[in-house]
Amino acid sequence: MQFVHLHTHSEYSLLDGANRIDDLIDRAIELGMPALALTDHGNLFGAWEFQEKARAKGIKPIIGCEAYVAYGDRRSRERVEGAPANYAHLVLLAENAKGYANLIKLSSIGYTEGFYRRPRIDHEVLEEHAEGLVCLSACLAGEVARYLQHERYDDAKRAAEWHARVFKDRYWLEVQDHGIPDQEKVNEGIFRLADELGLPLVLTNDAHYMHREDADAHDTLLCIGTGKDKGDPNRLRFHGEESYFKSPDEMSELFPDLPGLLAETVEIAER
C-alpha cells in the first residue's frame, strides 16, 4: 500500500523540526514512496535544496508550507475577541508553477506585513493568492481543529466551508492520530464535517523527527527553541513519541477500516 507524507518538517522549521532534508529523501526512497512534501513552519527556506535533491534521486518534490494564519487582520497585534488562539496553522502545497509563485508571495507577506512573533498571513491574502495551491486543514493547531477542541462545531463548519470555497476542489480535511487526548474528539468532528459538507479526507502524520527513538532529542530541541528547562511542567512538549516519519504500514494501522485515507495522499501527490 502506497503512502506519501504531506505534512513534514525539516531543520528549516527552526528549533522545532529535527529532520534533515537528505535523511527525509533517503527514508522516503527506502519506504518506496513516489513523492514527498516539505511543509516547514511559516517559511520556504528549504524549498530549493529540497527540490534539487529530491529530483536527483527520483522522488517527486512537493513544495509546501505550514502557514501561520491570523484569525483577524494579519497586521493586528491584538488577539481577536472570541478567537481560540493567536493564530492557526494551515498546510499549503504548490501543485503547479502558479501555486509556487503564490506560496512565495504568501510567505513574503507573512514576514513583511504580518510578522508578530510568527510570520502570519490572513484570510484576505489567502483568498487573493489561492490559485494553484492545495490546502490541508493541518494539525490540532489548525483553525478547524481548534474550534472542534473548544466544542464550537458551528465555527469549525464555517471555517471548513470558507476554505472549501476559496480552495475549490483543492481542500482536504486532515486526519491524524498521535495518541493525543484531544485528537479523538477532533477526528470525530472532522469525520462529521466531511460527511455533512462532502469534503475529502486525507491521513497525515505531523513528522518532526525521523524515528520513534528520536523523540527525546526532539524534545530537547523544543526546550532550546523555547528557552525552557526539560523539567519545567508548563513548557511546550509533544505528547507521546508518534510525530516521526512513519512507514506506509505504520500509517495503515492507524485507521485500518479507511484505506482510502492513505490512497488520497498519493492522489494529491500526483496532481
What per-residue string of b and e applies to 187-199 under the rule 16 or more CB within 10 Å gives b? Answer: bebbeebbeeeeb
- pLDDT of res. 120: 98
Are residues 159 and 137 in contact, defined by beta-carbon separation less than 8 angstroms? no
- pLDDT of res. 231: 86
Joined together, the cell numbers standing for residue 3 give 503512502
Are residues 140 and 146 in contact, defined by beta-carbon separation less than 8 angstroms? yes
Q: Is the pLDDT of residue 255 over 90?
A: yes
pLDDT tens column, 118-152: 999 999 999 999 999 999 999 999 999 999 999 99
Q: Please, which pLDDT band fits residue 181 given cuts at 50, 70 and 90?
A: confident
- pLDDT of res. 202: 98
Looking at the DSSP bridge assignments, the partners of residue 37 are 62
Looking at the DSSP bridge assignments, the partners of residue 142 are 89
Instruction: Output the average pLDDT for the chain.
Output: 96
Q: Please, which pLDDT band fits residue 14 given cuts at 50, 70 and 90?
A: very high
Using alpha carbons, select from 6, 4, 10 the residue that is nearest to residue 40. Answer: 10
- pLDDT of res. 235: 87
- pLDDT of res. 98: 98
Collect all residues with Cβ–Cβ distance below 8 Å to 171 and sequence separation of at least 6: 134, 135, 136, 137, 160, 163, 164, 199, 200
- pLDDT of res. 72: 96
Q: Is the pLDDT of residue 267 over 90?
A: yes
- pLDDT of res. 118: 96
Q: Is the pLDDT of residue 1 over 90?
A: no
Q: Class of 21-269 per CATH?
A: alpha beta
Rg (alpha carbons) of the chain, rounded to whole number: 17
pLDDT tens column, 192-244: 999 999 999 999 999 999 999 999 999 888 899 889 998 888 888 887 799 99
Looking at the DSSP bridge assignments, the partners of residue 73 are none
Q: Which residue has the higher pLDDT, 165 or 228?
A: 165
Q: Is the pLDDT of residue 111 over 80?
A: yes
